[in-house]
Structure 1
């Protein structure tokens, strides 16, 4: 069962100080985070210790226990075989790193901690937002990402209610902390990706099967934008960088190239079409580095934008994929 996809949907806010609850758009939240808005009930700002935060939509289908296993859930990752059944977190560690981690005993404890982490799944919007955040925060811009659609086991046991986002600063959640014995899936209020939505913390055994596509998709926006962007980058390659108006020291970095500046303007123009909470991540994900192939950059940037503006091609591509049993 697919839910309606809407990156720009309004969010529910709840003030713990006065109990007031109200609906806002993303522009309001952006102003709120800059202390330009206050709670309509008690006038506190975002700087208050008990300031309002986004909360769940009471009509969210995921709040219905019987529908959790019927809904489609999503995840983005650079792993081509997520979730890996025989996950070995130590497989890529060098002998030197293994030694610094305390040898076999220390490594075994660390691996057990890694294997005990919960997996995460959420809405389509949360999965795309997660990918953009990883591209920005983890320097994964040049890596291949995959969009997964998860289908849960029909018999999963869902934890009652929902919890506040349980992840630590690194986004990790110990499965046992949210899913006690006899519970397969825990719902939590996502604060980071598609804030206000319900996401899941779960173990591998809760997943029946997955579908996977590589993202972004090529050419969904059409050749027009890509053709114009490539032409602009080619033209920029023949120009020189404008003078900065000040003397450069030996330690100063090289001036930004015209092609990099042109690509930034192109990406910024696309970002302006997106919901305000995605623009910064999108521009970071669409950064151009001198030496990048203009055609590949334009197609990739266009495809990233399409994942947000028109999810239908991505959903159709997933529909054409077979299912992999987990």
Structure 2
């Protein structure tokens, strides 16, 4: 069962001081984070420890325990076979890394901790947001991402209520700390991707099957933006544009083509919800040496993930499910 996808929907805010609850749009949240909005109930600004934050919408259908397993859930990853039961986090470690970690016993302990982490799934919006954030913050701009649609087992036991985002500073959650024995899924309020939405921390045994597509999807049309972007990029040279200003000596010079590429990406980013504009612009950044047409089609595909999710869901529909 699919839920309505809406990257621009209003969010619920809850003040930690006066318990005032109200609805806002993403532009209000952006102004709030810049200190230009206050709580309508008590006037508190964003700088206080108990200042208002997004909270779960009481009408979120995922609050219904019986419906959690009926919904489609999503995940983005650079792993082409997520999730896998024979996952070995130590497989990629070099002998030197193993030595620096303290040898075989320490590596085995570390690997056990990695396998004890919960898996994460969320709304379609959260999965796309996660991919863009990783491209910006974790040097994954050039990585191939995959979008997974996850079906849960109908018999899965859902934990009572919901948790405030339990992840540490890198988003890790130990499964046993959020799921009591016999519980397969814990709902939590996601602060970072699709803020205010409910995501799930779960173990692999809660998943029935997944469908996977590589994203972004190939751009099959010759849309106006792609055509114009390619023509513009091919019409400028790769000459270096010297940096200016007080910090110019610390800034790596960019080519005129790279500068234009950033401007073209920023144009598309400006048509997106405000909380996605910066991560999208970073994920779509043009690098000198890239093929203009490949870059333009990839960037258009990234935009389509947000602007035209129907096409993405149709591509997932064509993929046979893989049992986990």
Distance 2:134 2:247 in 1: 34
What do you get for the CA RMSD once the two structures are aligned?
A: 1.7
Q: Secondary structure at the match of 1:317?
A: helix
Pairs within 5 Å for 1:1-326: 1-219=1-219, 222-237=222-237, 240-241=239-240, 255-326=253-324
Q: Any conservation in 2 of the 1:188–1:200 contact (CA below 8 Å)?
A: yes
Contact 2:242–2:254 under 8 Å retained in 1: no
Distance in 2 between the 1:221 and 1:168 partners?
Answer: 42
- The C-alpha deviation readout for 1:198-251, integer Å capped at 9, x for no partner, is 00000000000000000001116643211110110011127x4556568999x7
Q: CA separation in 2, counterparts of 1:309 and 1:221?
A: 15
More off after superposition, 93-102 vs 117-126: 93-102
Q: Do the aligned residues in 1 keep the contact of 2:241 with 2:254 (CA within 8 Å)?
A: no
TM-score normalised by length of structure 2:
0.97
**Ranges of 4+ aligned residues in structure 1 off by more than 2 Å:** 220-224, 240-249, 251-255
Q: Return the alpha-carbon distance in structure 1 between the equivalents of residues 131 and 95 of structure 2.
A: 31
Superposition TM-score, scaled by structure 1 size? 0.96
Q: Secondary structure at the match of 2:92?
A: coil
For residues 68-96 of structure 1, what are the alpha-carbon distances to aligned partners after superposition, in whole Å with 9 as ceiling and x for unaligned?
00000000000000001111000010011
Task: State the aligned residue count.
Answer: 324
Q: Tell me, yes or no, if the aligned pair for 1:117 and 1:172 is still in contact at 8 Å.
A: yes
SS in 1 for 2:128: helix
How far the C-alpha of 1:255 sits from its partner, in A, is: 2.6
Question: Against the structure 1 CA distance between its residues 119 and 254, is the aligned structure 2 distance closer, same or farther, given a 3 Å change threshold?
Answer: closer
Q: Which runs of 5+ in 1 are unaligned?
A: none
TM-aligned CA distance change 1:123 to 1:244, over 3 Å: closer
- Cα distance change, pair 81–248 in 1 and its aligned pair in 2 (3 A): closer
The answer for unaligned runs of 5 or more in structure 2 is none
